[in-house]
Amino acid sequence: MLFKVFPRNELETLYDVLAGHHLVGPQARGKDQADQEIFAFDYIHSFAELRLDFTSTVHSLKRFLLPPREILSSFNLDNSGWEKHIDLGIYKPHVFFGLHPCDINALNKLDKVLTGPVYPDPFYTGKRKNMFIVGVNCSPQPWCFCKSMGTDTVLSGFDMFLTDMGDKYFVEIQSATAYDILMKLPIAQPTEGDHRRFVELMDERNSKFTCQVDNSDLTKILDLEFQSPVWKEWGKKCMSCGTCASVCPTCYCYGVKEYVDLDLTTATKQRQLYSCNLIDFAMVSGGHNFRPDSSSRLKYRYYHKHRGFQEAYEEALCVGCGRCGQACLSGITVPDVIDSVRRQEVPK
Amino acid sequence: MQKTKTYLGVEIKRPRTAFFELSSCEGCQLQILNKEASLLNFLDLLDIVNFREAMSNGSNDYEIAFVEGSVTRADEEERLLKIRRQAKTLVALGSCACFGGVNQLKNRFHDLEWVKKEVYGDHSIETQEVRPLSDFIAVDLSIYGCPIKKEEVEEIVTNLVLGKSIDHPRYPVCMECTANGNICLFNLGEPCLGPITRAGCDAWCPNNRMGCWGCRGPADEANLSQLQEIMDSHGIPRQAMLDRLECFGGFTSAIKKMDE
Ligand code: SF4
Ligand code: SF4
Ligand code: SF4
Ligand code: SF4
Ligand code: SF4
């Protein structure tokens, strides 16, 4: 990897160079009841809106890659037949300015499933190949357990990655495009002092992680505890609302449905993101439901993420961003659930 | 107007359709006439033969009957039975028809005579306990909401005319609310029945920063006791949740179950 530094006040120049494209980044969305700022990824229209100092966003950036609803194909119908149109939407390159390591790692995980060799998803892949990512280092929040998931740092899947060093930015460069863009800024070779400062900052960041998950032997433990009573306990708390999967940057399940327009001459085939916690996720034609109760559905979400995916890809389908636990009104968090399976006790 | 339309070369009959209202605010029927941009296409799908709010000279020869409102008088019960005898498909339109709606709030009072006196004074009128259509007749299809959401009605009616299956979302409003990228109202200190209420309205109220009042009734899985705990932990008074649960009548049996 290539490393450079540039003066802090040049960040706006970088923004200006990239702002000619659709540019998405973290922005403030008011305050919650506890007077904490709420952040969201959205289109940025001025440098002042871009809040690289954000804690984390309630929703992931999934809606830009896997929107909750997406038209897969549209049809013109007439008496002699139909004509199909597909729009992959790849003529709109996007810049993502300000992604934390967990969120870039989440994209890398989605890539394994959705751009993989067997069933690549052209809608996702089209967007993914058409994006430019500026990563930025974060300050761990009380709910972040990315360190336990090995996703607290990121080595690929971005174009450049920034670390705020006070008077300058330390930048890791991954792509030729990123290098070309940075040439428009007064970049310099990091000095010996910059190296020291970077390592210090990383040590400081590491010391701030407070939330963790013990993943050792987890696939085996999950296998052993398939019938554990703790699942029933969690099931009682779960409201099968799907919020956890909605906010999760790595959940990708969807359903497909056809809609005929009112005039009966046009129609669309749309996909809708779904969640394995929803009551009819495992319902098949004829009405049989393989997972009729909330506990088996909640369990499945954990088995997919921490057992099935782990066995298939040697990594979990979770980046430890903590969003699901923060958003779940019932307070169901990944660290609590996994801990309860290990200890056979559900916290009150 | 033509009697038929075509879909992929197949002739589709425009069903003879009638709209009726029992005790209601007629807001759902008004919704039927809203959304002007697609109204003509909507009306073109149906052969509407009876619709007091939109036409005079209604006919009683129809296949589909949309019935809005709840039953609060003996003559309404009679009308409903008559409509049922005529209609091949009877649709309960809106929460009054499905659950009793806002009207059924009066069922909370045990002494109906007192209610009558309080509301109508000396003008004595006939009124009985408010009940949904399904207490009297078989309902073929329910369209939830107070008021109904026109977009959803358009989809349902299209499928009805084409003979396609009609599936209501089984999941709760939260799924649509999070899809819209909303910040959960509980974070802002507001109660919301979204986690237990059937979706389909596209999270109409939370989109506008108002907590859900449950007008569409319970989702297929509605964990009331857990939502009660969540309300408690947010310091929301029990009565505030109960007021919402009771408002439209959809949760009447769920409340009874929770109390057991
Ligand atoms: S775990 Fe929480 S967020 Fe997920 S479905 Fe259950 S109640 Fe909803
Ligand atoms: S499961 Fe939860 S913690 Fe893990 S990636 Fe998804 S939202 Fe983040
Ligand atoms: S956890 Fe559930 S919703 Fe998420 S990807 Fe797995 S099966 Fe799909
Ligand atoms: S605002 Fe209401 S509907 Fe939206 S996520 Fe929160 S509880 Fe669910
Ligand atoms: S959010 Fe709730 S109260 Fe509002 S329209 Fe939807 S179901 Fe009805």
Residue A277: predicted pLDDT: 97
Q: So where are chain B's domains?
A: 4-162, 174-259
Interface test with B, best of A143, A262, A296 (most B CBs within 10 A): A262
A222 vs A91, residue with greater confidence: A222
B112 vs A16, residue with greater confidence: A16
Of the candidate ranges A17-26, B62-71, B109-118, B133-142, the one whose mean pLDDT is the lowest:
B109-118
Question: CA A240, CA A227: separation in Å to the nearest integer?
Answer: 20
CB A59 within 8 A of CB A80: no
Across chain A, the runs of DSSP E, i.e. the strands, are 2-7, 22-31, 37-43, 69-78, 81-85, 94-99, 131-136, 160-164, 168-173, 254-260, 266-273
CB B69 within 8 A of CB B249: no
Average the pLDDT over A30-47 and give the result: 95
Q: Do B179 and A246 touch (CB under 8 A)?
A: yes
- pLDDT for residue B64 is more than 80: yes
Angle between helices A294-303 and A230-237 (to 10 degrees): 110
What's A126's DSSP letter?
H
CB A242 within 8 A of CB A53: no
Question: CA B12, CA B6: separation in Å to the nearest integer?
Answer: 5
Question: What's the number of CA atoms in the CB half-sphere (13 Å) around residue B244?
Answer: 24
What count of other Cβ atoms lies within 10 Å of the Cβ of residue A144? 27
Q: pLDDT per residue over A221-235, tens digit each?
A: 999 999 999 999 999
Average the pLDDT over B215-222 and give the result: 97
Interface test with B, best of A58, A241, A289, A348 (most B CBs within 10 A): A241
Across chain B, the runs of DSSP E, i.e. the strands, are 4-7, 10-13, 16-21, 47-51, 64-68, 89-93, 141-143
Average the pLDDT over B129-151 and give the result: 97
Domain boundaries B4-162, CATH class: alpha beta
Q: Do A329 and B186 touch (CB under 8 A)?
A: yes
| A81 beta partners | A78
For A240, nearest residue in chain B (alpha carbons): B221
Question: CA A286, CA B25: separation in Å to the nearest integer?
Answer: 38
What is the four-CA torsion angle of B191, B197, B202, B204, rounded to 10 degrees? -40
- pLDDT for residue A195 is more than 80: yes
Q: Which of A282, A301, A290 is nearest to A341 (CA)?
A: A301
- pLDDT for residue A53 is more than 90: yes
Amino acid at A251: C
Residue B3: predicted pLDDT: 78
Residue B260: predicted pLDDT: 76
Q: Do B188 and A33 touch (CB under 8 A)?
A: yes
Which atom of ligand 5 has the smallest separation from the CA of B216?
A: 7
Report residue A315's pLDDT band, with 50, 70 and 90 as the boundaries: very high
Report residue B58's pLDDT band, with 50, 70 and 90 as the boundaries: confident
Which residue, chain included where needed, has tokens 């309860």?
A340
Q: Considering all CA atoms of chain A, what is the largest pairwise distance in Å, rounded to the nearest integer?
A: 74
Residue B126: predicted pLDDT: 87
Residue B214: predicted pLDDT: 98
Q: Which residues of A touch B (CB under 8 A)?
A: 29-30, 32-33, 38, 40, 58-59, 63, 68-69, 77-82, 236-243, 246-247, 259-264, 273, 275, 278-280, 294, 327, 329-330
What count of other Cβ atoms lies within 10 Å of the Cβ of residue A243? 26
Q: pLDDT per residue over B66-99, tens digit each?
A: 999 999 999 999 999 999 999 999 999 999 999 9
Average the pLDDT over A258-281 and give the result: 96
Ligand number nearest to the C-alpha of A301: 3
Residue B59: predicted pLDDT: 85
| A29: chain B residues, CB-CB within 8 Å | 183
- pLDDT for residue A135 is more than 90: yes
Structure tokens, A229: 């009573």
| A246: chain B residues, CB-CB within 8 Å | 174-175, 178-179
Question: CA A259, CA A268: separation in Å to the nearest integer?
Answer: 5
Mean pLDDT over the full length of chain B: 94
Residue A262: predicted pLDDT: 95
Which atom of ligand 5 has the smallest separation from the CA of B199?
A: 7
Question: CA A310, CA A218: separation in Å to the nearest integer?
Answer: 9
What count of other Cβ atoms lies within 10 Å of the Cβ of residue A189? 9
Ligand number nearest to the C-alpha of A276: 3
Query: A76: helix, coil or strand?
Result: strand
Counting residues of chain A whose pLDDT is more than 70, the rounded percentage is: 100
Structure tokens, B97: 């028809």
Q: Is the pTM of this model over 0.80?
A: yes
Question: Sign of dihedral through CA atoms A29, A34, A36, A40?
Answer: negative
Q: Do B8 and A240 touch (CB under 8 A)?
A: no
- pLDDT for residue B206 is more than 70: yes
- pLDDT for residue A79 is more than 90: no
What's B190's DSSP letter?
-
Cβ within 8 Å of residue A43, ≥6 positions away: A22, A23, A24
What does the radius of gyration of chain A's CA atoms come to, in whole angstroms?
22
Question: CA A306, CA A225: separation in Å to the nearest integer?
Answer: 13
- pLDDT for residue A278 is more than 90: yes
Q: Do B171 and A80 touch (CB under 8 A)?
A: no
Q: Which of A305, A256, A298, A258 is nearest to A278 (CA)?
A: A298
- pLDDT for residue B1 is more than 70: no
What does the radius of gyration of chain B's CA atoms come to, in whole angstroms?
20
Ligand number nearest to the C-alpha of A243: 1
Question: Which 3-state string (H, E, C) describes B35-59?
Answer: CHHHHHHHHHHCEEEEECCCCCCCC
Q: Do B187 and A38 touch (CB under 8 A)?
A: yes
What count of other Cβ atoms lies within 10 Å of the Cβ of residue A269? 16
Report residue A261's pLDDT band, with 50, 70 and 90 as the boundaries: very high
Residue A189: predicted pLDDT: 97
